[in-house]
Chains A and B, each alone.
Chain A
Amino acid sequence: NAGVTQTPKFQVLKTGQSMTLQCAQDMNHNSMYWYRQDPGMGLRLIYYSASEGTTDKGEVPNGYNVSRLNKREFSLRLESAAPSQTSVYFCASTAAYEQYFGPGTRLTVT
């Protein structure tokens, strides 16, 4: 089992460009999450999906959209990237309480 995988690992965007971060899990978990992590701070929840077909906003959803494509995949889209979205993005999944995290995507917006 690969666990939680994320692509790409690194990305540089110019202000105003769009991109989609991909996340997949092979643990048959119902719930999936997207977080961002800024220097010196903990993880902040952007969006989550409690089950296939549902998505809900977290603490910092502005500027992002998500799609729960199927049970395995949960993508995060930046429609018009801004320098404030420079961060490391982590996807996670869970069956109950313990969350399993992917390796992260380091995004820089110039």
Chain B
Amino acid sequence: GESVGLHLPTLSVQEGDNSIINCAYSNSASDYFIWYKQESGKGPQFIIDIRSNMDKRQGQRVTVLLNKTVKHLSLQIAATQPGDSAVYFCAEMSDSARQLTFGSGTQLTVLP
């Protein structure tokens, strides 16, 4: 029979629109959250981070929102550009464990 592979969640946006990528995390004891961008054939690249005592942090064209009540993290990218096309991962870490746990990722495609 035909085998079925795993598929990443996907998000397609028009160039110039804003993108919102979501992530649900599992460990309520996590102290630190990071978003990574991974382009095809490359290693993950740090985008932005946020501590658990914050609910919002802004960078250049990116904003991370943290909702600890529902254990939800989001990455907002303003004015999405073709170079933003990549897989985006969220990761969490506790100060005691000092190990990152990664989510499964979202494939962002920017349409011309």
List the interface of chain A (C-beta within 8 A of B): 4, 31, 33, 38-45, 48, 50, 58, 90, 92, 97-104
Contact B105 A42 (CB under 8 A): yes
Which residues of chain A come closer than 8 Å to B44, judged between CB atoms?
43, 90, 99, 101
Contact A101 B5 (CB under 8 A): no
The number of residue pairs between A and B whose CB atoms lie closer than 8 Å in the complex comes to: 56
CB-contact partner of B43 in A38, A41, A97, A104, under 8 A: A104
List the interface of chain B (C-beta within 8 A of A): 5-8, 32, 34, 41-46, 49, 89, 91, 93, 98-105
Which residues of chain A come closer than 8 Å to B104, judged between CB atoms?
40-42
Contact A102 B6 (CB under 8 A): no
**Best-buried of A31, A33, A41 by chain B (most CB within 10 Å):** A41
Which residues of chain B come closer than 8 Å to A39, judged between CB atoms?
5-6
A97 — nearest CB in chain B belongs to which residue? B32
- What are 24 inter-chain pairs, A to B, with CB distance below 8 A? A4-B43, A31-B98, A38-B6, A40-B7, A40-B8, A40-B104, A42-B103, A43-B102, A48-B99, A58-B99, A90-B43, A90-B44, A92-B43, A97-B34, A98-B46, A99-B44, A99-B46, A100-B46, A101-B44, A101-B45, A103-B41, A103-B43, A104-B41, A104-B43
